[in-house]
Structure 1
Amino acid sequence: METFLLHAQEAEALELAGRIRIPSGTKLPADWQGRVVIHWGAAHDELPGQPALQPLKAILRAQKRARREELLSLHGIKTAATHIAQGEQPVFTHKFKVAVFHLQTLAVYEKKEPLLAAAPSVRLMRQQQLAAAAYREVAPELAGFYVRRASREAVKAVYALGLDYGLVTIGILPGGHTLVLDVDPVPKLNGRLTELFAQAIDRYDAALTKELRRRERVMLGADPEFLLLSPQGKVVYADRFLTREGAVGCDAIVLSGHRVILPLAELRPQPSADPRVLTRNLQETMQLAARAITDESLAWLSGGMPAGGYPLGGHIHFSRCWLNAHLLRALDNYLALPLILIEGATTGGRRPRYGSLGDFRRKPHGGFEYRTLPSWLQSPEIAHGVLTLASLIADHYWQLPWRPLAETDIQAAYYRGDKTMLKGVVSRIWNELSGLKAYSLAAAPLERMRSRIESMTSWNEREDIRKAWKITPYSRKEAFEEQFML
C-alpha cells in the first residue's frame, strides 16, 4: 500500500477506516514505506515534507468563508459574495451538493428551488420552507446540463483551494450562471458517502501504485491555437478556410446566449514521446495550414490574447500516465509559472477565465489535456522548450516537490503576471529542474529555454509566427532546419 489515512479519531474517519484497504491511524508508523498521506480533518499534526492529499493549511483556509471566497474569486470562480456586495440576494433555480475526491465527482445531490416572484417577506418565508427540503441524489445516467456544470465547478473549486476532496454546494441562478456557495473540506458523511469515499480512496491507492511503477515515457500531443489578422488589423475567422476536423482545423468560442463562433485556427500534430519529433510535427501541420489558408496577407498570431476578446490556448495532451493532482500541481509550478516570465504584455488578458491553474480535460483515449498555458507557437525554440519541459515534468514529477503556488501571494502574482515578484521563485524552480538526472538528456532545448526565461525576454503577440517557423511566404526548409539545430 502506498497511502495512509491519518486522522484524529473523528467519527467519519473511523467509519472510513473500517471500509478501506489501506492502513490508517492517528500516527504514521515509524516503519511505513508508502508515498502519500491522506489527511482527514485538521485536528492532527501535519508531516513536513511528506506528500499528502488535503494539506492541513488548505483545510483551515477553506473553513474561513471570507478567505475561501477571496481565493475562489482569484481563480475566476464565482461565489455569492459579489452579488451580496452589490446589494443583491441571489435566488436560485437549483442547488447541488457535489461530493468530490481527487479530481472526480463521487455523487451529486440536487434540490430544485422554483423562482419566487412574491413580495420579499413571502419569498423569504417560502425560501426558509424550501431550505428544509431534502437533496436527492442524481443518477449518473440522468445527469443533465446543470448537473454536469455543477460537477465541473465543484472539482475546480476544490483544486483552487488547494484541497483534494470536499463537499461543494453549488447554486444555479435564473440566467444559468453557476455560483459556489460553500466548500466543506471535512464533510459529514452518511452511509452512502462513506462508501463512495472509501471506494475512491482505494482506487487512488491502486492508481498511485501503478503510476509509481511506470517506466515508459509519457506520450505528448498538442493542439495550440493561432489567430488570423488582416493587414487592416481585423480578425479573420479561421472557418473561412478550415473545417472543424483534421490535422489543421478551427476551434470555437462560445459567446453570451450560447452563440458559437469559429475564429481560431488549431494545429493537431501527430503525438510523440519525443518533444523534438512533436515540434517537427507541429511545423509540418503549419505547412498544411499554409496550403489551406490561401490568403498570404493574413498574419498568424499566437500568445494568450493577441486581439481583445480572442483568448488562445496552448493545450498539451498527456497519455501513458495517470491524471492526478500531484502531476497537475507540478505542471502548474514547474511549467505554467516559469512561462509567465516570457509572456507578452497582452497574454495575461486571458486569465483567470482562461489559463486558470490546474485546468484539465479528460480525453476519450484515456489521457488528458493540460489547458492552463497560452499558445506557445511564437518560435520553434519556445515550442520545443515548452514541450521538453512538459515531458520532463510528467516523467519525473515525484522528484519535484516544491509548491510555491500553494501560497496565495504567489497565486495572485501568477494571475496578474507579476514578473518581478516571480523571478526569484522561477530561479529556484529551474535549479530544482536542472538537478534532475534526466535534465542532462535534453539539456540543449532546456538551457535555451532557461536563458530566455532568465532574461525575461517577452514574446510579441502581434508578430507573425510564420517568420520564425519559416512558413510560406517566409519558407525555406533549410533555414528551419538550421534554426532548429541551434
Structure 2
Amino acid sequence: MGTITLPYLAVDHGKGIRDFIVEKQNLASTIRLELPEASRLSEYMLVLNDEKQVTKCRNLVERNRILLMHGLPVAVNATILREYILAVFQTRVLLIYRSVNNSAFLPAAKKQRRVTYRRVPLSERTRETRKAQELAIRAVYALGLDYGVVKLGIGTGRKMVIQQVNPSPRLNKEMETAYVQAITQYMKGCARSRTPLEEIVLGADPEFVMESPQGKLLIASNYFPVRGKVGCDAIWLGQNRSHKPLVELRPDPTPNPRQLVVRIYQSLIFANKKMGKVPAKWLAGAMPYEGFPLGGHIHFSGIQPDFKLLRALDNYLAMLLVIAEDEKGKRRRPKYGFLGDFRYQDYGGFEYRTPPSWLVSPTLTKGVFVTAKLIAANYKQLRYNPLADVSMQEAYYKGRKQAIADWLPILWQDLKQCPDYKVYQAYLDDFYHYLASGITWDESQDFRKFWRLPPYGKKKTEQT
C-alpha cells in the first residue's frame, strides 16, 4: 500500500482512520494529513514517512549503508539465535514480539522454517528488551521514517543486529489498533502549532574532564561525589568502578534559559573552589581527552518528544555546532553524538543527548540554551530538514564544515520568523555571529579562562 491522504474527519472514530491507512492488512507506506491547522504547520509536519525516505529504506544496500553510518549494527550473513519484531511509531515502541524457539536461524539455509512469535509486555525491562527497543527506534529514525516494523536478531555473543525495517508492514489486529491510536494522537497533537515558552522547562548536565600538567587524566571521583549539583558521570575508568573521570554539572531546571546559564556559572564557581589549588586544565567539547567523549545533554519538560522535534533539534542546533567544533570532535561520532539521541526521564520529560559539551564558551552555552528552547516551542512551524539528505548526514558525521555552513543562513532565517525569536534576540544574535564568524573552539584550552574563573582573573576573553 502506497501513499494515502488522511482527512481530519477520520479522527472522530478510530475505524475511520483504519479504513484509510490499512488495506489488505498492510499499513500505508506514506500518510499525508489534512488538518484544519495546516496553514500554521510546516509541510514537514503534515507527512508521515516521506516517500523519498521510504524508497531509500526499500533499497537493501542503501538502507544498510545509512544504518551503519549512524552506528547501527546490521545483519550480514549472521547466525541468528532468536528474533524480535517491534512496531514503532516515532519515539515509542507500540508492541514487541519475540520468537519462541531459540534454535539458530542459518542465513545460508535453503529452506527457512516457520517462526512462531509471542507478544512481550512493554513492561518487561530486561537488558535485552531495553536494547531491542532502543535499536528499533534508532533504526526508524536513522532511515528518515516516522513509523515501521523492525525485525532484530540476537546472534552469537548476544550481539543484536537489525534484519529488516518495513515502512509498510503487514499488520495483525493488535498492530492495527496500536497504529490507529498512535496516528490519532499525533493528529490531535498537531492542533497546537506551538508551545508557549513559559511551559517549557530546561535543564542540563554538561560534562568536562580535568587534565594534570603532565597530561594525565584526573579522576573526578577523587574530588567530587557521585551525586550532587557537581558530581561524577556514571562512566568508570578501567576495572575499578569507583574511578569516575568525568565531572558533571547538574543545575536546577528552570523555564528561563538565562537563569540556567547563571546556575551553570555558579556550579563552575563551586567546582573551582572545591578543587582548591590542584593544578589542572579543565577541558570541554566533544573529546578533549582521547577515549572520553563528552556530552552537553539538554533536558526538557513541559513538552514531549516526537521525531519531528528531534529532527528540528538535529537540524537547527546539533548540526550547526559542527561549524564551530574542534576538528577532533568528529571522533565522538557515531558511537556518541548520533542524530536523534534522546532518553525519556523519570520526571516526565526527556533528555536530548546529541550535542557535545558546550561548556567551552559562555557564548556557546547561552546560544545553545536559547536556541533549544526556541526550537522546542516552534518546531511545528520550522520548514527545513537538510539532514533528510544522506550527503548531509555524512557531512555531520564526518565533520564537513563547509557543507553545513552553507545551510546556516537559511536555517537561521527560518528561526527568525518565529515570533519568540525577539524574546532571546541578544543571545541568539550572538550565537549566530559566533557560528558565522569561522571561530573554532580549541578543546586543548582550559575553558575556565572564557568563563573568567580563577586562576585566570576577571579579564574578559573569548576564543578565536
Task: Verify same fold: TM over 0.5.
Answer: yes
Tell me if structure 1 keeps the 8 A contact 2:200–2:373: yes
Choose from 90, 93, 99 the match for 1:111: 99
- Tell me, yes or no, if structure 1 residue 320 matches structure 2 residue 323: no
1:226 CA drift (Å): 0.2
* Counterpart secondary structure, 2:158: coil
Normalised by the size of structure 1, how large is the TM-score?
0.84
- 2:454 matched to which residue of 1? 472
Aligned residues: 448
**C-alpha distance in structure 2 between counterparts of 1:475 and 1:438, whole Å:** 36
Distance 1:290 1:255, change over 3 A: closer
Which consecutive segments of 4 or more residues in structure 1 shift more than 6 A? 25-31, 47-50, 254-260
> Counterparts of 1:13-32 in structure 2 under 5 Å?
19=15, 24=20, 32=35
Paired letter, 1:102 = Q
Percent identity between the aligned chains?
36
Q: Can you list the C-alpha shifts for 1:228-285, whole angstroms capped at 9, x where unaligned?
A: 1111111122111122211011113378999786211100112122221111110001
Distance 1:239 1:65, change over 3 A: same
**C-alpha distance in structure 2 between counterparts of 1:31 and 1:226, whole Å:** 47
Tell me if structure 2 keeps the 8 A contact 1:168–1:183: yes
**C-alpha distance in structure 2 between counterparts of 1:201 and 1:32, whole Å:** 13
- Structure 1, unpaired ranges of 5+: 37-46, 82-88
Choose from 60, 64, 69 the match for 1:69: 64
- Tell me, yes or no, if structure 1 residue 250 matches structure 2 residue 247: no
Tell me if structure 2 keeps the 8 A contact 1:360–1:371: yes
Paired letter, 2:58 = Q
- 1:447 matched to which residue of 2? 429
- 2:217 matched to which residue of 1? 235
- 2:79 matched to which residue of 1? 91
> Counterparts of 1:261-280 in structure 2 under 5 Å?
262-280=244-262
Choose from 179, 184, 191 the match for 1:202: 184
Normalised by the size of structure 2, how large is the TM-score?
0.88
> Counterparts of 1:104-183 in structure 2 under 5 Å?
104-111=92-99, 114=102, 131-183=113-165
Tell me if structure 2 keeps the 8 A contact 1:252–1:263: no
After superposing the two structures, state which structure 1 stretch, 200-209 or 211-220, moved more. Answer: 211-220
Paired letter, 1:387 = F
- 1:39 matched to which residue of 2? none
- Tell me, yes or no, if structure 1 residue 428 matches structure 2 residue 428: no
Distance 1:324 1:49, change over 3 A: closer
1:48 CA drift (Å): 6.3
- 2:389 matched to which residue of 1? 407
Tell me if structure 2 keeps the 8 A contact 1:93–1:172: yes
**C-alpha distance in structure 1 between counterparts of 2:60 and 2:218, whole Å:** 45
Paired letter, 1:77 = L
- 1:298 matched to which residue of 2? 280
- 1:461 matched to which residue of 2? 443
- Tell me, yes or no, if structure 1 residue 419 matches structure 2 residue 377: no
Q: Can you list the C-alpha shifts for 1:120-146, whole angstroms capped at 9, x where unaligned?
A: 9xx966x956x4120111123334211
* Counterpart secondary structure, 2:359: coil
1:31 CA drift (Å): 8.4
- 1:79 matched to which residue of 2? 74
Choose from 323, 343, 350 the match for 1:368: 350
- Tell me, yes or no, if structure 1 residue 102 matches structure 2 residue 74: no
- Tell me, yes or no, if structure 1 residue 337 matches structure 2 residue 299: no
Choose from 54, 58, 72 the match for 1:59: 54
* Counterpart secondary structure, 1:252: coil
Paired letter, 1:460 = D
Tell me if structure 2 keeps the 8 A contact 1:252–1:261: no
The RMSD of aligned alpha carbons is 3.3
* Counterpart secondary structure, 2:373: helix
Distance 1:331 1:137, change over 3 A: same
**C-alpha distance in structure 2 between counterparts of 1:190 and 1:162, whole Å:** 24
Distance 1:143 1:368, change over 3 A: closer
Tell me if structure 1 keeps the 8 A contact 2:343–2:350: yes
Q: Can you list the C-alpha shifts for 1:288-322, whole angstroms capped at 9, x where unaligned?
A: 21233345311110000101110000001111112
Paired letter, 1:62 = C
Paired letter, 2:36 = Q
- 2:36 matched to which residue of 1? 33
- 1:84 matched to which residue of 2? none
- 2:337 matched to which residue of 1? 355
